[in-house]
Amino acid sequence: MSARSLFDKVWTAHEVVGETADTPAVLYIDLHLIHEVTSPQAFTVLKALGLTVRRPERTLGTMDHSTPTSSEQVFGNVPIKVDAAAKQVRQLEQNAAEFGVELFAMRDARRGIVHVISPELGSTQPGMTVVCGDSHTSTHGAFGALAFGIGSTEVGHVFATQCLLQRKPKIFAVNVDGRLRLGVTAKDLILAIIGKVGVSGGTGHVFEYRGSTIDRLSMDERMTVCNMSIEAGARAGMIAPDETTFAYLKNKPRAPKGADWDAAVARWRGLVTDPGTRFDASVDIDASQLEPMITYGTNPGMVVPITGAIPEISGDAINDKALRYMGFHGGDAMLGKPIDVVFIGSCTNGRLEDLQAAANILKGRKVAPGVRLMIVPGSQQIKRDAEAAGLAEIFKAAGAEWRESGCSMCLGMNGDTVAAGQYAISTSNRNFEGRQGVGARTLLVSPYTAAASAVRGRITDPRELL
Amino acid sequence: MEPLERVRSKTVVIPSSNIDTDQIIPARFLTTTTKEGLGKQLFADWRYGADGAPNPAFVLNKPESIGCQVLVAGHNFGCGSSREHAPWALLDYGFRAVISTQIADIFRSNSLKNGLLPITVDDSTARWLEDHPGAEVDIDLSVARLTLPTGVAVTFPIEAFARHCLLNGLDELGYLRSRLGDIERYEAARIKDA
């Protein structure tokens, strides 16, 4: 038998019907994650057609995108500020009850960002197919799952059949070797990868992150890397499961137990790309040369080392437009630019290791006057863990806002927004125009760089404070 | 879904590359629980000023854009979020086709499921279209061909199954449900293997 990729092994194991020239493959979905924003229209279709959710036990719901992060609105008697968001939340509660889908509702201790809660429960496992009506579903590829975002129509398809119609994508090897230097994180690595591949370079492909650097990353770090695969246009990003993966999953509430665990690990060990497998495309990254990275424009591919300057490109109307939006000029140094808001959180960097990194910098320091630092844990579990570890005390003593979990300021749907013209240093995943609020200017960075910049009130190289 | 075979229309051109779905419809409008009526929020932050008044410089606010069904846009159109609200907003506004040199995967998939035709063309065709806003183009899906007013015709790639569904106004769910027997057999075999 010829050499096969990790992707190919997972894909083939889920082909209910193989693709032909005339028809796409029918692909079985092991885990369907849903949230309040992209599911209501799909439930409406089910109701109109008189259909049920075929496999409710393979469906898990949470609320994260439009939910408030203030404790008073989540746990107190203060109503959700945004009326339409309150309606979405109620509708998901009604739909989940009507169709028998498990839902972590507003006050549930297990609630959080959809891409954070599933791994922490052990629901995301190697070799699975995982989908969600959210493009950052690529996060779950960190476990060697094939995980990708879908639209609401496809959410309805999975509800009704537990399957999707899919054409097989191509595979793209992202080879990363060398040791990351102090202060350089998984976030900096993925930003550098996107800078090199470009924001559309991965279109039509599934990334497989490989190499000694990837092998040494923790699961939290691998999730950060896979999370942003979509920002390079890739449909999914995968990392072969290994001892790090198994150690993370062991004893998680929904991971297999006892003999089932042993059998699962034995099966998962086969989920590696065979030697001699040919990829359709590849890129090589020397991790030992990377610095902390920061974006300067309006897509994640417009990125430079933090000690660098904005490229001077003449005669490019699109580059000019992005710099005009950002209020920057070609040739400007990034270090020292003033900032207004700092956001630490999101499905990219809202996990415990991210909060620990921020706390390492913030411990015994204060947020600069006039700067707002908002720290939003990825889940209620992470919130409790951070409080137990003393991180929340460090944040509060530094003058940061310590919030309930959710997507929050990553996309500003819930009212957590950045004002027009303000500069936001953010650990999230998109610096698109208006992403964090109308006219908001976003600079994507690691949790270290975000925390260091909060302390100085300016774009700061975190290595100065580590 | 309405069948889609032929689109003959003038074009609207937005030449920017990497137009993401946050531009097509900003996240604050995603608190809706239906698909309808999103056309007025299409490109909201480019189309309207802070006071809500139309920005006269933006192409959709120009009189010649009224009634145009074909959007020509720069490379990598529809990147970013998986929100299906993006094709819903384009369709509700009146667009039936989007032409670019590259269209992001999830947006492309969402568009095909709603009757919005994603068309990728080569650089020189794209450049001609960008240089001739308002050109009357003829799209014939039955032969996957885009004809420019110059008479130049190019074919565009489209998955056979998606084309079949679009031409006949079929929902893919009907086909998927016709395979439920296969799905049940697959599930039974997997449980036996485990």
CATH code, domain with B169: 3.20.19.10
Rounded to a whole number, what is the distance in Å from the CA of B64 to chain A's nearest CA?
A: 23
CATH class of the domain comprising A292-461: alpha beta
Which residue of chain B is at minimal alpha-carbon distance from A436? B27
CATH class of the domain comprising A170-288: alpha beta
Asked whether residue A339 carries a pLDDT value surpassing 80, the answer given is yes
Rounded to a whole number, what is the distance in Å from the CA of A151 to chain B's nearest CA?
A: 5
Decide if A6-166 and A292-461 have a common fold.
yes
Residues of B in contact with A199 (CB under 8 A): 18, 76, 79
Q: Is B1 on the interface with A (CB under 8 A)?
A: no
**Which of B111, B173, B178 is the best mutation test for A, with the most CBs of A within 10 A?**
B173
Q: Tell me if residue B80 falls in helix, strand or coil.
A: coil
With residue B178 as reference, give the H or E element that holds it: helix B172-178
Asked whether residue A300 carries a pLDDT value surpassing 80, the answer given is yes
In this predicted model, what pLDDT tens digit does every residue of A108-147 receive, in sequence order?
Answer: 999 999 999 999 999 999 999 999 999 999 999 999 999 9
Asked whether residue B154 carries a pLDDT value surpassing 80, the answer given is yes
Third-level CATH fold of A6-166: Aconitase; domain 3 (3.30.499)
> Mean pLDDT across the stretch A149-153?
97
Domain with B68, as residue range(s), is: 6-193
Per-residue pLDDT at A82: 84
Asked whether residue B192 carries a pLDDT value surpassing 70, the answer given is no
Asked whether residue B190 carries a pLDDT value surpassing 90, the answer given is no
| Amino acid identity, position A196 | K
Asked whether residue A81 carries a pLDDT value surpassing 90, the answer given is no
- With respect to residue B36, please indicate whether it lies within any of the assigned structural domains: yes
- With respect to residue B1, please indicate whether it lies within any of the assigned structural domains: no
Per-residue pLDDT at A237: 98
| Amino acid identity, position B93 | Y
- With respect to residue B171, please indicate whether it lies within any of the assigned structural domains: yes
Q: Give the count of domains, chain B.
A: 1
Mean pLDDT check: name the lowest of A78-87, A219-228, A280-289, A294-303: A78-87
Which residue of chain A is at minimal alpha-carbon distance from B49? A438
Is A17 in Cβ contact with B179 (below 8 Å)? Answer: yes
- Partner residue facing B80 (CB), from A37, A133, A135: A135
Asked whether residue A406 carries a pLDDT value surpassing 90, the answer given is yes
> Mean pLDDT across the stretch A75-92?
90
Residue ranges per structural domain of chain A:
6-166, 170-288, 292-461
> Mean pLDDT across the stretch A438-465?
98
Confidence of residue B191 (pLDDT cuts 50, 70, 90): confident
Confidence of residue A7 (pLDDT cuts 50, 70, 90): very high
Q: Is B53 on the interface with A (CB under 8 A)?
A: no
Rounded to a whole number, what is the distance in Å from the CA of A391 to chain B's nearest CA?
A: 31
* Nearest Cα to Cα of residue B21 among B77, B60, B59, B105: B77
Residues of A in contact with B177 (CB under 8 A): 160-161
Q: Using only C-alpha atoms, what is the Rg of chain B? A: 18
Per-residue pLDDT at B194: 54
Report d(CA A343, CA A346) in Å as an integer.
9
